């Protein structure tokens, strides 16, 4: 239950006076549905009202504060014309212009013959100096009421500054004084004010500096949010660990059989991470470990070995993947590697329906299936394992945090291994995983040559096509990735269709396959299988092939409109080639003129294949908002914290959270109520439910 003290700010925005359903909807779209969301809607700009020129000296377009005498009211001659009030100082006359204004209101506000201080934007129309709808009108003795600088907020279509400003003020007025959740000594050292004072100050920037992320008030609020995030993650992790894990100690039999069957030796990097993973599993604690390894580093066989350890001990393992294609591919790979092993591997995806699905579920519940590979379909409630001991989640960045937790409930004490090829800078991984243990898979299987990466303008498309054709005639296989048209799948597909048609015409019948997200699952399988088997030499694709697809025989990756892809995506795509012993080629085709960022991205791609460097450059080029805003990435979005600008705070928050829970795991101590309020304030309610006395 949300603490009562927070009730006032968890009211809907329409609870504010003057915010009806229409305005409420606009605000909701912009900031969120509760008053607290308005509190988090911080200003991004300033209006400086300290500029006080004469009327004649007030430049067009500027916000100015003028001291004038009211000379004359000119009521609107008709409904379409404005009401005007003429005012002047010793230098010139200014017309205050009002549309849809009430005369008696204006007569009271601007009495003829009186002096008034007015502030607003100046507009020059021919010889006339105007100020349409002044923001402020005050009598000279009330000039103190005029704010020196005023915050401006991000707006949305249909929502103007004034009502939003008023709504924010209304929300702020509802904020309670909350008990302090931050550590006293730390707070004193930072010289930060209380939460409420910091919030008010952040909405009343005194100057440009107060809008920057390093403004102390903004830092305090950011820290609060990061602490809430880290605390929630640490609690989730503690809860997972508390459910007394189990010691997985197989006899090594299956693992020895696998090692004997492998067509290669494990690399040193693979052995190192396996050692970490297996010793974690052998402990009676629950494992919660992230395996980070660049594209093509060989994570699959690591996962398989770990899963065999679970099977050896008489239990089951689950292998979760984000796409159907990947699930099929893993089924093929694992089945082949485990061909002689006495185990049963099964797949469960959205495609398994009806009776056959029920049969699979029965076998799973019976313990006849040892390794279950699946997509989101594994999350479904009726999927019950007999004895799940290990869950591996592949390409984790495609899943949300919530889903990860859900799966954890399937095996009461199941160990969890999440794998990702998207190298995440340390600070960012902290926001997602908190204090999760991390294993880094260094190096790549031997014999890999660097991919030869080239970029060229689309105007040379014919040359590229001819080159690919020559290569395929010599036995090569190529991926051809088609332009990504943002938010327009229809156009995406049209482009892929068209390229498929032209290439098929050129290369001859049956040589070119097509795969995209809108195809039926079976068609996708067929297209993939034909390419794997070498029946088709070129596979034209949208980005469905981005994650995890493994066709070692493919050596060419052509990417059309490379300038439209992000760095991480380009890196993933390129990772599809150069996986075998043969030289891989990556062709980045771009449309001219190339923007600055796109140029930089392509240069980095040519420069390096180091996924970590690419990830860091990506972050630098993109800035944070965009990177973290993407829902697909599974990153939480922050309202106040900026993971780049507040990196230092992230680390402190992590340590703080750990310390808090070490001393008071159930948040029952003196700081407990405040910390609980913090979790609710940032809507980390799920974490609170994990507390014993939650």
Task: Give the binding-site size for Mg ion (rule: CB under 5 A).
Answer: 1
What are the C-alpha distances in Å from 655 to residues 132, 231, 662, 676? Answer: 53, 10, 11, 18
Report the site for ligand ADP in 561-590 (rule: CB under 6 A): 579
- C-alpha span between 586 and 478 (Å, rounded): 10
Helix axes 567-574, 611-622, angle to 10 degrees: 160
One of 213, 552, 566, 672 touching ligand ADP (CB under 6 A): 552
- Binding at 297: pick from Mg ion, ligand ADP, none (beta carbon under 5-8 Å per type): ligand ADP
One of 338, 421, 562, 681 touching ligand ADP (CB under 6 A): 421
Q: Provide the token pair at 237.
A: 């992790």
The residue (of 65 and 297) whose beta carbon lies closer to ligand ADP is: 297
Helix axes 461-473, 489-507, angle to 10 degrees: 60
Three-class DSSP category at 67: strand
126 CB burial (10 A radius; 0-12, 13-18, 19+):
exposed
| Angle in degrees, CA 687, 690, 692, rounded to 5 | 140
Q: Provide the token pair at 559.
A: 């990417």
Percent helix / strand / coil, the chain, rounded to 5: 45, 15, 40
Its sign, for the CA torsion 240, 242, 246, 247, is positive
| DSSP codes joined into one string, 151-215 | EE----TT--HHHHHHHHHHHHHT---PPP-S-HHHHHHHT---HHHHHHHHHS-SSGGGGSTTS
- Binding at 270: pick from Mg ion, ligand ADP, none (beta carbon under 5-8 Å per type): ligand ADP
The 10 Å Cβ neighbour count of residue 29 is 13
One of 293, 374, 611, 643 touching ligand ADP (CB under 6 A): 293
- C-alpha span between 79 and 319 (Å, rounded): 69
Q: Are 7 and 13 in contact (CB under 8 A)?
A: no
The residue (of 82 and 548) whose beta carbon lies closer to Mg ion is: 548
The residue (of 270 and 633) whose beta carbon lies closer to ligand ADP is: 270
The residue (of 144 and 340) whose beta carbon lies closer to ligand ADP is: 340
Which window, 73-81, 294-302, 402-410, 490-498, contacts ligand ADP (CB under 6 A)?
Answer: 294-302
Q: Provide the token pair at 160.
A: 């103007």
- C-alpha span between 598 and 559 (Å, rounded): 14
One of 134, 296, 434, 643 touching ligand ADP (CB under 6 A): 296
The residue (of 479 and 638) whose beta carbon lies closer to ligand ADP is: 479
- Binding at 278: pick from ligand ADP, Mg ion, none (beta carbon under 5-8 Å per type): none
Tell me if 300 contacts ligand ADP by CB under 6 A: yes
- Binding at 601: pick from ligand ADP, Mg ion, none (beta carbon under 5-8 Å per type): none
Nearest residue to Mg ion, scored by beta-carbon proximity: 548
Q: Are 655 and 662 in contact (CB under 8 A)?
A: no
Q: How far is the CB of 547 from ligand ADP (least distance, A)?
A: 9
Tell me if 295 contacts ligand ADP by CB under 6 A: yes
Tell me if 548 contacts Mg ion by CB under 5 A: yes
Q: Provide the token pair at 441.
A: 């898979």
The residue (of 179 and 548) whose beta carbon lies closer to Mg ion is: 548
Tell me if 264 contacts ligand ADP by CB under 6 A: yes
Tell me if 396 contacts ligand ADP by CB under 6 A: no
Tell me if 375 contacts ligand ADP by CB under 6 A: no
Which window, 74-82, 237-245, 355-363, 548-556, contacts Mg ion (CB under 5 A)?
Answer: 548-556
CA 200 to chain centre: 28
The residue (of 423 and 548) whose beta carbon lies closer to Mg ion is: 548
Three-class DSSP category at 241: helix
Q: Are 634 and 212 in contact (CB under 8 A)?
A: no
Backbone angles phi, psi at 365, to 5 degrees: -70, -25
Q: How far is the CB of 577 from ligand ADP (least distance, A)?
A: 11
Tell me if 617 contacts ligand ADP by CB under 6 A: no
Which window, 360-368, 540-548, 563-571, 622-630, contacts Mg ion (CB under 5 A)?
Answer: 540-548
The residue (of 182 and 305) whose beta carbon lies closer to ligand ADP is: 305
- C-alpha span between 138 and 122 (Å, rounded): 17
Which window, 383-391, 451-459, 527-535, 545-553, contacts ligand ADP (CB under 6 A)?
Answer: 545-553
- C-alpha span between 328 and 364 (Å, rounded): 18
- Binding at 298: pick from Mg ion, ligand ADP, none (beta carbon under 5-8 Å per type): ligand ADP
One of 96, 301, 334, 364 touching ligand ADP (CB under 6 A): 301
Tell me if 296 contacts Mg ion by CB under 5 A: no
Q: How far is the CB of 579 from ligand ADP (least distance, A)?
A: 5
Which window, 98-106, 125-133, 259-267, 317-325, contacts ligand ADP (CB under 6 A)?
Answer: 259-267
Tell me if 445 contacts ligand ADP by CB under 6 A: yes
Binding site for ligand ADP (CB under 6 A): 264-267, 270, 293, 295-301, 421, 445, 548, 550, 552, 579
Residues forming contacts to Mg ion in the complex (CB under 5 A) are 548
């Amino acid at each position: 239950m949300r603490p009562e003290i927070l009730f006032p700010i968890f009211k809907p925005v329409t609870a504010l006076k003057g915010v009806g359903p229409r305005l409420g909807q606009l605000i909701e779209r912009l900031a969120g549905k509760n008053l607290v969301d308005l509190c988090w809607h911080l200003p991004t700009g300033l209006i400086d009202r300290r500029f006080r020129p004469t009327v004649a000296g007030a430049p067009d377009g500027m916000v100015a504060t003028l001291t004038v005498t009211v000379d004359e009211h000119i009521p609107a001659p008709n409904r379409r014309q404005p009401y005007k009030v003429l005012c002047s100082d010793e230098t010139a006359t200014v017309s205050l212009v009002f549309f849809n204004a009430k005369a008696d209101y204006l007569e009271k506000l601007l009495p003829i013959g009186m002096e008034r201080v007015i502030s607003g934007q100046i507009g020059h129309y021919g010889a006339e100096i105007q100020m349409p709808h002044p923001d402020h009108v005050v009598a000279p003795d009330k000039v103190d009421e005029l704010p020196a600088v005023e915050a401006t907020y991000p707006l949305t279509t249909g929502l103007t500054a004034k009502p939003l400003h008023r709504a924010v003020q209304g929300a702020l007025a509802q904020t309670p004084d909350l008990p302090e959740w931050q550590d006293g000594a730390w707070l004193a050292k930072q010289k930060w004010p209380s939460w409420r004072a910091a919030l008010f100050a952040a909405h009343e920037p005194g100057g440009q500096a107060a809008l920057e992320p390093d403004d102390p008030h903004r830092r305090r609020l950011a820290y609060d949010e990061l602490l809430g995030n880290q605390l929630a993650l640490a609690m989730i992790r503690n809860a997972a660990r508390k459910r007394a894990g189990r010691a997985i100690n197989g006899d090594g039999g299956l693992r020895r059989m696998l090692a004997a069957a492998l067509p290669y030796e494990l690399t040193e990097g693979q052995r190192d991470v396996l050692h970490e993973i297996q010793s974690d599993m052998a402990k009676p604690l629950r494992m919660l470990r992230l395996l980070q390894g660049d594209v093509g580093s060989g994570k699959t066989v690591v996962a398989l070995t770990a899963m065999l350890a679970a099977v050896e001990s008489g239990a089951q393992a689950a292998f979760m993947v984000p796409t159907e294609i990947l699930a099929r591919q893993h089924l093929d790979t694992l089945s082949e590697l485990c061909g002689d092993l006495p185990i049963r591997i099964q797949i469960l995806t959205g495609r398994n329906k009806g009776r056959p699905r029920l049969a699979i579920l029965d076998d799973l519940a019976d313990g006849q299936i040892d390794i279950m590979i699946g997509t989101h379909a594994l999350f479904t409630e009726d999927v019950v394992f007999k004895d799940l001991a290990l869950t591996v989640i592949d390409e984790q960045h495609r899943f949300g945090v919530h889903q990860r937790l859900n799966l954890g409930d399937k095996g009461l004490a199941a160990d969890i291994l999440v794998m990702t090829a998207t190298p995440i800078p340390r600070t960012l991984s902290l926001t997602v995983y908190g204090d999760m243990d991390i294993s880094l898979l260094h190096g790549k299987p031997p014999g890999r040559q660097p991919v030869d990466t080239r970029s060229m303008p689309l105007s040379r498309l014919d040359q590229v096509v001819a080159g690919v054709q020559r290569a395929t005639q010599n036995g090569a296989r190529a991926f051809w990735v088609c332009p990504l048209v943002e938010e327009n799948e229809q156009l995406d597909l049209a482009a892929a269709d068209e390229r498929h048609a032209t290439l098929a015409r050129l290369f001859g019948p049956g040589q070119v396959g097509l795969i995209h997200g809108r195809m039926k699952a079976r068609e996708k399988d067929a297209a993939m299988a034909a390419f794997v088997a070498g029946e088709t030499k070129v596979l034209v694709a949208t980005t469905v092939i981005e994650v995890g697809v493994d066709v070692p025989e493919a050596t060419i990756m052509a990417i059309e409109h490379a300038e439209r892809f992000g760095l991480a995506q380009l890196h993933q795509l390129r990772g599809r080639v150069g996986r075998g012993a043969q030289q891989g080629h990556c062709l980045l085709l771009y449309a001219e003129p190339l923007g600055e960022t796109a140029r930089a991205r392509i240069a980095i791609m040519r420069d390096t294949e180091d996924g970590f460097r690419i990830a860091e450059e990506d972050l630098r080029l993109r800035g944070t908002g965009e990177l973290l805003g993407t829902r697909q990435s599974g990153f939480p979005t922050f309202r106040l914290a900026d993971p780049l600008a507040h990196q230092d705070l992230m680390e402190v928050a992590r340590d703080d959270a750990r310390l808090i829970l070490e001393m008071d795991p159930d948040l029952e101590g003196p700081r407990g109520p405040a910390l609980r309020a913090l979790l609710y304030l940032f809507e980390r309610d799920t974490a609170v439910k994990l507390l014993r006395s939650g």
